[in-house]
């Protein structure tokens, strides 16, 4: 099912590591070449507006990572940071102004928004062609319709990893744990479009393990540290762990208990270094594609 040799360091066969950092480097190198070509052909620099409302320490870290990646690939970023907050009408006004600015090709509205702001209304106020996160209802609808245009970055990154390692999806028994708008739901659609047989699990699922144990491909985005243990993984499965959780000890872990799952899986993404780096890389890819479309290239 997976290209490449399995790593068997000890007595017990450990799974192949699906190296998201390496795949992200490859995506970013392609984006860098694409950005240079856009600049050559149009004279314009693909530009991302970064909007942060409120004072969220983790959002600041995410934004710093995204801006660093943008700089590396030659995408310009312009900051619209409002640590003290914005009213909903002010935020909508800002988004309208960015929609109308031809020098801005992508709008990154960092979530969450502070209480008092309506996330759904704000996302819907972004012009769909500048929605580089792919969260606009129109872009999610196009994905559902089978004509994806802008795909949310994290599920797009998962697909990129699976394709890079040659994971066969057609007819595969795929189980997605989590049904959020930004990860689980779009990921299930992408897998369906590639002819996997998809089961979605969530908090109301009865007997989660009964489902996960059937999965040849198990994708977990539950936001619960190590909720999937090795005993819940089918022998020889490919496991993609989207979760990022910081334990009280300070250790970063996924939604899958890596050590026990790696003993049963054929291949697995680590945390950190798995899906995380892909999300940022796919945001850059989406920004490049948005710029190309707006510049008619
Ligand atoms: P969310 O909280 O919006 O959704 C979690 C989903 O998991 C819900 O649908 C819920 O029903 C389901 N769920 C929760 N506990 C469950 C359980 N015990 N059994 C079955 N289903 C359960 O979370 P999200 O935004 O989709 O994020 C999920 C995880 O992915 C989080 O850890 C988040 O930090 C991480 N994340 C990582 C990246 C990345 O770049 N790697 C990007 C986005 C999110």
**Residue 14's pLDDT is what?**
81
Find the helix or strand (DSSP H, E) in which 28 lies: helix 20-42
Q: Is residue 173 included in any domain, yes or no?
A: yes
Is 271 a pocket residue for ligand 1 (Cβ < 6 Å)?
no
* pLDDT tens figures, 250-267: 999 999 999 999 999 999
**Residue 243's pLDDT is what?**
97
**Same domain as 263, residue 158:** yes
The CA radius of gyration of the chain, in Å to the nearest whole number, is: 19
Q: Rounded to the nearest 10 degrees, what angle do helices 153-164 and 20-42 cross at?
A: 110
**Same domain as 156, residue 123:** no
**Same domain as 188, residue 240:** yes
Q: How far apart are the CA of 221 and the centre of ligand 1, in A?
A: 4
Q: Is residue 293 included in any domain, yes or no?
A: no
Q: Is residue 139 included in any domain, yes or no?
A: no
Q: What is the pTM of this model?
A: 0.95
List the domain range (segments joined by +) for residue 117. Answer: 43-129
Q: Is residue 103 included in any domain, yes or no?
A: yes
Cα–Cα separations (whole angstroms), residue 24 to 174, 222, 274, 280: 23, 23, 9, 8
The domain that holds 111 is classified in CATH as: 3.40.50.10860
The domain that holds 190 is classified in CATH as: 3.40.50.720
Q: How far apart are the CA of 243 and the centre of ligand 1, in A?
A: 6
223, 240, 241: which to mutate for ligand 1, most atoms within 8 A of CB? 223
Q: Is 66 a catalytic residue?
A: yes
Q: Is residue 96 included in any domain, yes or no?
A: yes
**Same domain as 241, residue 171:** yes
Mean pLDDT value across residues 79-97: 97
* pLDDT tens figures, 54-82: 999 999 999 999 999 999 999 999 999 99
């Amino acid at each position: 099912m997976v290209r490449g040799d399995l790593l068997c360091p000890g007595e017990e066969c450990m799974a192949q590591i699906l190296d998201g950092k390496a795949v992200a480097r490859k995506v970013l190198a392609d984006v860098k070449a694409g950005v240079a070509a856009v600049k050559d052909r149009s004279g314009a620099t693909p530009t991302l507006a970064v909007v942060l409302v409120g004072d969220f320490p983790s959002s600041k870290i995410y934004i710093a990572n995204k801006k660093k990646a943008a700089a590396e690939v030659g995408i310009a970023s312009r900051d619209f940071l409002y640590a003290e907050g914005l009213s909903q009408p002010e935020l909508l006004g800002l988004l309208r102004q960015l929609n109308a600015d031809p020098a801005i090709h992508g709008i990154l509205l960092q979530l969450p928004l502070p209480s008092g702001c309506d996330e759904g209304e704000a996302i819907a106020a972004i012009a769909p062609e500048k929605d580089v996160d792919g969260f606009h209802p129109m872009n999610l609808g196009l994905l559902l319709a089978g004509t994806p245009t802008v795909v949310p970055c994290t599920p797009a990154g998962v697909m990129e990893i699976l394709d890079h390692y040659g994971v066969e999806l057609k007819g595969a028994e795929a189980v997605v744990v989590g049904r959020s708008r930004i990860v689980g739901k779009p990921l299930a659609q992408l897998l369906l479009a590639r002819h996997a047989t998809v089961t979605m699990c969530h908090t109301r699922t009865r007997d989660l393990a009964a489902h996960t144990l059937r999965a040849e491909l198990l994708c977990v985005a539950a936001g619960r540290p190590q909720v999937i243990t090795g005993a819940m993984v089918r022998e020889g499965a490919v496991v993609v762990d989207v979760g990022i959780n910081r334990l009280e000890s300070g250790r970063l872990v996924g939604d899958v208990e890596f050590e026990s799952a790696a003993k049963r899986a054929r291949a697995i993404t680590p945390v950190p270094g798995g899906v995380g780096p892909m999300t940022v890389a796919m945001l850059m890819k989406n920004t490049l594609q948005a710029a190309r479309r707006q510049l008619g290239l």
